[in-house]
Amino acid sequence: MRKPKSDIKSNTALYETQALIKPTGFREYDARWWFGHPESDKPSEINLYGIQTLGASLGTLIHELGIEPKIVVGHDYRSYSLSIKQALIVGLMSAGIEVSDIGLALSPTAYFAQFALDVPCVAMVTASHNTNGWTGVKMGVEKPLTFGPVEMSRLKEIALSGKTVTRSGGGYKFIDDVATLYMRDLAANIKIKRKLKVVAACGNGTAGYFAPHVLDKIGVEVIPVQCDLDHNFPNYNPNPEDMKMLHAMRDAVMRYGADLAVGFDGDGDRCGVVDNEGEEIFADKVGVMLARDLSAEFPNAQFVADVKSTGLYATDPVLMANGAKTDYWKTGHSYIKRRSKEIGALVGFEKSGHYFFNAPIGRGYDDGILSAIAILQMLDRNPDKSMADLRRALPKTWGSPTMSPYCADETKYGVVDKVIEEYQQAFKNGDKLLGQSIRDINTVNGVRVTLEDGTWGLVRASSNTPNLVVVVESPTSEENKTGMFREIEARLAKYEEIGEYDQKI
């Protein structure tokens, strides 16, 4: 196969005859590219021949790793995802892979299918929470894990060098009813006894086909909000960290007098929550609630949390009394999933809303609907408490949303390396921030700087988009939370590579 090119323009003959792949689309643990949108003049980063090359490269890697050459493939609900998937399948078959196509799916549906069909590999076509115009593929060859940097680097090398290997033995079959099996599996043996009214918000994304049905089957009253599938996403982008979605969830809770709202992202592997008082609860705080509840049932439980998450996992007195321990690890679904399996964690939590339930609760992959079920079971076990009561029972902290200043993929890691060096030098010099000494520097993923009073700030490179990620939290005051952000904001302002923030505090 010829080497793909990185600079082919759309609407040209070359675009229709050669593979286009921008190298930066191979990210730390996903593949993600701008495919194009009619309302945007941003040039495409990949074309269908490029996707075909990706499939052939993945097939080549599967053989290289000595994995049984069988794969589950699904796609999310975007206007172009089916064509992306079909191009991917052509490439996989050319490399000698037997493809089981499960059709329209959530990412956790595809992960479930690996177990249900006893197929070792998975390729889920989805841009997750990214806006329309983006596409991507989540991949794995060892259930329930997905690719990390090692596998992605090798995949990139194969694809960009044109070193795919054509093999016989490829095949295709469409598997009916995996969606039904998946929903039946989620609801099996679960019955919520408490009378609960639940808003299910899906942003017209793929989860609208799944979530309301499952929640209804476990015995709660479901109020669907934007659950009709519409790949134009006419109301808001399905992303439970996006304020538009959270405001829609809040409005629905207040309008219908619901006990809570659960919101799902574009591929259904994340869950966001708004409580009965209409207040958003950041997913890391919901995770602390779940950890409290589960550690009472499973004493001395081990958890994993990503570096964006609240410090309460380490300091909450209830978790400490239950003997729970939490390991702070790299942000990213592949990282937390793998780390949770490695250290035998009961659950892994991400601030973004990815939760990874291991046995006996789940199979280790992230599933937004399973997360919603776990939250409802928590409420069922606490019949005299509302979601707001459980929120108020947590030690008070002041935290920010995830803020994402623009920084190009080509430069973002270099910028973060410089910021890490700055903070490490400040720590070494004994510099004061907000009038306090630096207590700890965690560089497992970017840099998380913790001050004497527990106030902390994080700067890291986004794994999926051309952005940095900034999060701050203080256990002592709103003032210190804001002060920590201002400190980071001023430090980042020195770098001309950094552009506008999507939101600030």
Both structure tokens of 212: 């309301």
Select from 71, 67, 68 the least CA-distant residue to 114. 71
Both structure tokens of 110: 């595809």
Amino acid at 319: L
Helix (H, G, I), strand (E, B) or coil at 229: coil
Tokens 């295709």 sit at which residue?
172
**Residue 276 CA: distances (Å) to CA of 186, 190, 214, 422:** 24, 23, 21, 43
Angle between helix axes 149-161 and 48-64 (nearest 10 degrees) is 120
**Residue 78 CA: distances (Å) to CA of 82, 112, 153, 183, 211:** 8, 21, 27, 21, 18
Both structure tokens of 339: 């780390």
- In this structure, the chain runs to a length of 505
Select from 221, 227, 224 the least CA-distant residue to 192. 221
**Peptide linkage before 360 cis (omega within 30 of 0):** yes
Amino acid at 492: L
**Hey, which residues does 432 pair with through a beta bridge?**
437
**Hey, which residues does 173 pair with through a beta bridge?**
100
Distance of CA 327 to the CA centre of its chain: 19
**Hey, which residues does 302 pair with through a beta bridge?**
325
**Hey, which residues does 440 pair with through a beta bridge?**
450
Q: Where are the beta strands (DSSP E) in 300-455?
A: 302-306, 325-329, 347-349, 355-357, 398-399, 432-433, 436-442, 447-451
Structural contact between residues 327 and 303, judged by C-beta atoms closer than 8 angstroms: yes
Both structure tokens of 116: 């249900």
Structural contact between residues 63 and 95, judged by C-beta atoms closer than 8 angstroms: yes
Distance of CA 201 to the CA centre of its chain: 17
Select from 163, 381, 358, 355 the least CA-distant residue to 293. 381
Helix (H, G, I), strand (E, B) or coil at 126: coil
Structural contact between residues 141 and 63, judged by C-beta atoms closer than 8 angstroms: no
* Catalytic status, residue 100: no
CA gap 108, 370 in Å, rounded: 9
Catalytic-role residue among 128, 371, 463, 474? 128
CA gap 248, 223 in Å, rounded: 13
Tokens 């609860």 sit at which residue?
281
Positions marked catalytic: 128
